[in-house]
Amino acid sequence: MTSRYQSLPGRAPGFTYQHSRRGLLRTKGPLVLHCEDLSMTTLAEKFGTPLYVYSGETITAHHLAFDRAFRDIHHTICYSVKANSNLSILRLLARKGCGFDVVSGGELERVMTADRRAAKRVVFSGVGKTREEITAALKAGILLFNIESESELWALAECAGRLRTKAPVAFRVNPDVAAETHPYISTGLHKHKFGVPVSEARALYAEASGVRYLRVRGVSVHIGSQITDAGPFGEAMSRVADLVRELRRDGHEIDYVDAGGGLGISYDQPPAGTFPQQVAAYAAALVKPLRDLKIHLLLEPGRSIVGPAGALLTSIVYKKSNNGKKFLIVDAAMNDLIRPALYGAFHEIIPVTLHTDQIAKSETTDIVGPVCETGDFFARDRTLPVLEEGDLLAILDAGAYGMALASNYNTRPRPAEVLVSGKSAKLIRRREKISDLLRQEL
């Protein structure tokens, strides 16, 4: 047996292969993928496929790694709700004292449903906040509005004036820092729709400070997602630190710096170092420019907390060959996990059950779904052990932007979701039915 299948580097304790036991003498059976202490075969039998499976232990451990890495600076971790907005995951993090980064009124409502007390730890980001969303956030008493344009500033002032309350504000500044990531999730350059230019920031802060119903509280920045090099984070934070000093000289009380999120995960190869080591390097890059500022640092991790904690479990429906080109057609599809189709993203895909004789045999195949699109694929020309119809596959690192981006394309019901804790599994979203999809239509 190869070491590749004996363990999953960088993913323990969430997902590991363990020998099953069978017979009265409890002899070793095949290797079976487990989420914590539960076999994925058991979960598939109980909840069906496709199925999102999350490791609660991994989510908790990754949140704790952030908390420890930034222990030398006053900070609040504001989990990025858009990565995975399931209420049970939000409740799990809220119980740990986590704050939240929201980008819509719907996400704010999810946080309020999970734990109303968490509102005071919410930052509201996004370029298109409506007046209805702003009003709801003001009534909830959130921590901070990250303002992305002058027009938004006046909309916020108008809403706060109607409620006769003061809105806490930070401008999201665009530092014009390049980061090596997919162009769709890069946000820190002047050509992107996000933030205001650093060169215009002082004038905007001066305007905000003169408005009765606004209170300047901080500076915000976010340069993109899935960034694995700490260098750009440090560069952006150096520019923010310079701006904070200028704003304080101008007389503004800057209490918060929101560093955004964006720390990436390793989808296609074992990560360099443990997760706590990766977060420590990220923390060192952020904190160094801020050491003498005595500020409260806000962080918005999302993918790095929930990404490795989730897997999409799917069953092989058919095997097919077209002139020697092999396909495994599975019951999950691009509507369940769109990242490969949308970004060309890589996800490791592994068999749930491995017999000794299987490991020595392999084949190169495409793993595809049933949607009527050539873009409906999870992997192309992937080498796997020889598998059969009915076998289970696990698509790893699917905890972030999996279910959050799922749709009902082709009138396909979305999967169920399960949260595992040790030997117990909790159904945290029921599988949709066709009747659920038709109910809202007239």
The pLDDT tens digits for 66-76 are: 999 999 999 99
Asked if 256 and 296 touch (Cβ cutoff 8 Å), the reply is yes
Residue 190: both structure tokens together = 């002047």
CA dihedral of 205, 210, 212, 217, whole degrees rounded to 10: 30
Q: What is the CATH number of the domain that holds 347?
A: 2.40.37.10
| In a shared domain, residues 207 and 156 | yes
- As to burial, measured by CB atoms within 10 angstroms (0-12 exposed, 13-18 middle, 19+ buried), residue 144 is buried
For the chain, how many residues are written?
442
pLDDT for the residue numbered 185: 39
The pLDDT of 319-337, averaged and rounded, is: 96
Among candidate residues 390, 391, 383, the one with its CA nearest the CA of residue 362: 383
Q: Can you give the pLDDT at residue 6?
A: 52
Domain boundary among 259, 287, 305: 305
As a whole number of angstroms, the distance between CA 423 and CA 303 comes to: 25
Q: Please identify, among 276, 305, 334, the residue that sits at the C-terminal boundary of a domain.
A: 305
Question: Structural domain tally of the chain?
Answer: 2
Looking at the structure, do residues 301 and 327 belong to the same domain, yes or no?
A: no
Same domain, 219 and 122: yes
Residue ranges making up the domain that contains 365: 3-55+308-438
Q: Which residues of 250-270 are buried (b: 16+ CB within 10 A; e: fewer)?
A: eebebebbbbbbbbbbbbeee
pLDDT for 273 equals 79
79 and 222 co-located in one domain: yes
Choose, from 35, 98, 159, 372, the residue flagged as catalytic: 372
Question: In sequence order, what are the beta bridge partners of 365?
Answer: 382
**Residue the block writes with tokens 């077209």:** 322
Of 289-293, 407-411, 415-419, the poorest mean pLDDT is in 289-293
- Backbone φ and ψ for 350, nearest 5 degrees, come out as -135, 150
CB proximity list for 234: less than 8 A, separation 6 or greater: 285, 286, 288, 289
- Sequence-ordered alpha helix ranges (H) in 288-338: 303-306
Contacts of 372 (CB under 8 A, 6+ apart): 410
CA 55 – CA 90 distance, rounded (Å): 14
pLDDT digits (tens, 9 = 90+) for 372-409: 999 999 999 999 999 999 999 999 999 999 999 999 99
Q: Are residues 193 and 337 in the same domain?
A: no
> What distance in Å separates the CA atoms of residue 306 and residue 216, rounded to the nearest whole number?
32
Q: Does residue 98 carry a catalytic annotation?
A: no
Residue 181 phi/psi, 5-degree rounding, is -155, 180
Amino acid at 10: G
Same structural domain, 299 and 320: no
Are 265 and 140 within one domain?
yes
The amino acid that residue 130 corresponds to is T
**In whole angstroms, what is the distance from residue 197 CA to residue 237 CA?**
15
CB atoms within 10 A of CB 30: 18
Three-class secondary structure of residue 129 per DSSP: coil
Task: Tell me, yes or no, whether 65 and 43 share the same domain.
Answer: no
Q: Looking at 305, 323, 353, which one is the last position of a domain?
A: 305
Give the CATH number for residue 153: 3.20.20.10
* CB distance 323 to 407 below 8 Å: no
Check residues 420 and 127 and name the one with the higher pLDDT: 420
**pLDDT score of 321 more than 70:** yes
Share the mean pLDDT of the chain: 90
Residue 139 has a CB neighbour count (10 Å cut-off) of 12
**Among candidates 311, 333, 306, 275, which has minimal Cα distance to 88?**
306
What pTM value is reported for the model? 0.92
